[in-house]
Amino acid sequence: MTSLNTTSPPADPVQAYLDRGIKNYWYPVAPSWQVSNAPIGLTRLSEQIVLWRDQEGKVHALEDRCPHRGARLSLGWNLGNRVACWYHGIEVDGSGTVQSVPAVSACPLEGQKCVKSYPVEEHAGAIFLWFGDDAHKEPTPLALPDELVAPEYSQFLCVSNWKCNYQYAIDNVMDPMHGAYLHATSHSMAEGDKQADMRVRKTETGLMFEKVGQRDVNFDWVELGETGCLWMRLAIPYKKKFGPGGNFGIIGFAVPVDNDNCQVYFWRTRKVSGWQRDAWRFLYRNRLEGLHWAVLEQDRYVLESLAPNARQHEFLYQHDVGMTRVRRMLRQRGQQHFADLDAFKAKQTEAGAQASTGHAHA
């Protein structure tokens, strides 16, 4: 199926790279509940990945491709610290090393690390993988916003699959002004000015984009942070009847699936503890979750039906300055990726040349 807003393959290699998904970040790839006993296969950043959980509950992630003849490892069997291919039974461990080739004796494939493996961490009910390029195989430490990891916060994770490139999902969050229009009839965004001046300011980990002179009325600000992963934070004010905890926080991630699909992660957070936490969790499950889904569906509906190649035919104005800044920043990350790879390859060639000169003299 082709989606309406497919970006036709750009001639610009940086844009083509950005369309697939920016490397050298951690990304949430699945909610924790989705990975239990059987191996599962998924596509993220156009890469096919198999995930499974071992006896200790630790998640492993490999390229979803058997080294023998390319069968999907995700169709195979979970053997705890290994996964076995369904086709001819090859067993591969979490590091990507072939542990056993049961169909032949003493196969030279045994002991070889020939399947790509991904560093894995699990936090706040989601599984995060590191997508490093060749120059960044070792992961940067993953630091998540306090709302996801500090004990004084309570959160619910909401995951949704959208048929649009992930860059549209980032644009959408970096655009607070749509709250007063698209979500005008929602339970939380019916109030406040329909006009605003917006400004961008730098923060320690990224940038803040906010309305000048309006706070705590509608969707009035959004922050983007880069801390080993790319997250967005915003807060929606809540009336008293929606329970304790003050503003309602959202931490969002837009995760590339392929050029035409993404998966969005929105953690709904509140700073509540003790009985207030229980009250809020009860209220959320019974009343608020449905209302939030309705709001999120409005976003999905608009994004999935944007004009073809919408980003290439825009007239942007003052509200769009935050989004523009983020696009520029991501473009710099794309350029950096190519520069780092070039430097990495040059170093390797140099090391290779030195090694062969060494041999010649030996």
Strands 126-131 vs 120-123: parallel, antiparallel or unpaired: antiparallel
- Angle, nearest 10°, between helix axes 321-361 and 13-20? 100
Identify whether the C-beta of residue 31 lies closer than 8 Å to the C-beta of residue 348.
no
Identify whether the C-beta of residue 93 lies closer than 8 Å to the C-beta of residue 69.
no
Cβ proximity to ligand FES, 80 vs 89, nearer residue: 89
Would you count residue 68 as binding ligand FES (CB under 6 A)?
A: yes
Cβ proximity to ligand FES, 66 vs 229, nearer residue: 66
Would you count residue 178 as binding ligand FES (CB under 6 A)?
A: no
Cβ proximity to Fe ion, 73 vs 234, nearer residue: 234
The span from the CA of 127 to the CA of 122, in Å, is 5
Cβ proximity to ligand FES, 76 vs 252, nearer residue: 76
Candidate segments 12-20, 142-150, 270-278, 296-304, binder of Fe ion by CB under 5 A: 296-304
Q: Which amino acid is at 340?
A: D
- The entry of Fe ion, ligand FES, none near residue 302 (CB within 5 to 8 angstroms by kind) is none
Min CB(64)–Fe ion separation in Å: 33
Which residue do the tokens 């989606």 mark?
3
Would you count residue 175 as binding Fe ion (CB under 5 A)?
A: no
The span from the CA of 226 to the CA of 178, in Å, is 24
Could you tell me how many residues of this chain bind Fe ion (CB under 5 A)? 1
- The entry of Fe ion, ligand FES, none near residue 207 (CB within 5 to 8 angstroms by kind) is none
Candidate segments 8-16, 269-277, 285-293, 297-305, binder of Fe ion by CB under 5 A: 297-305
Residues contacting 204, CB < 8 A, separation 6+: none
Candidate segments 19-27, 85-93, 127-135, 344-352, binder of ligand FES by CB under 6 A: 85-93
Min CB(98)–ligand FES separation in Å: 10
Min CB(333)–ligand FES separation in Å: 36
DSSP per-residue letters across 7-71 = PPPPS-HHHHHHHH--SSEEEEEEEGGG-SSS-EEEEETTEEEEEEE-TTS-EEEEES--TTT--
Would you count residue 71 as binding ligand FES (CB under 6 A)?
A: yes
The candidate with the shortest Cα–Cα distance to 138, out of 119, 164, 125, 160, is 119
The span from the CA of 84 to the CA of 160, in Å, is 30
Identify whether the C-beta of residue 225 lies closer than 8 Å to the C-beta of residue 206.
yes
Would you count residue 299 as binding Fe ion (CB under 5 A)?
A: yes
Min CB(82)–ligand FES separation in Å: 13
Residue 259, Cα to own-chain centre: how many angstroms?
Answer: 14
Q: Which amino acid is at 264?
A: V
Would you count residue 207 as binding ligand FES (CB under 6 A)?
A: no
Min CB(87)–ligand FES separation in Å: 4
Could you tell me how many residues of this chain bind ligand FES (CB under 6 A)? 9
Each residue 146-165 as x (binds ligand FES by CB under 6 A) or -, in order, gives --------------------
Contact residue for ligand FES among 62, 90, 264, 323 (CB under 6 A)? 90
Helix ranges restricted to H, 117-213: 146-149, 166-173, 179-182
List residues binding Fe ion (CB under 5 A): 299
List residues binding ligand FES (CB under 6 A): 66, 68-69, 71, 85, 87-90
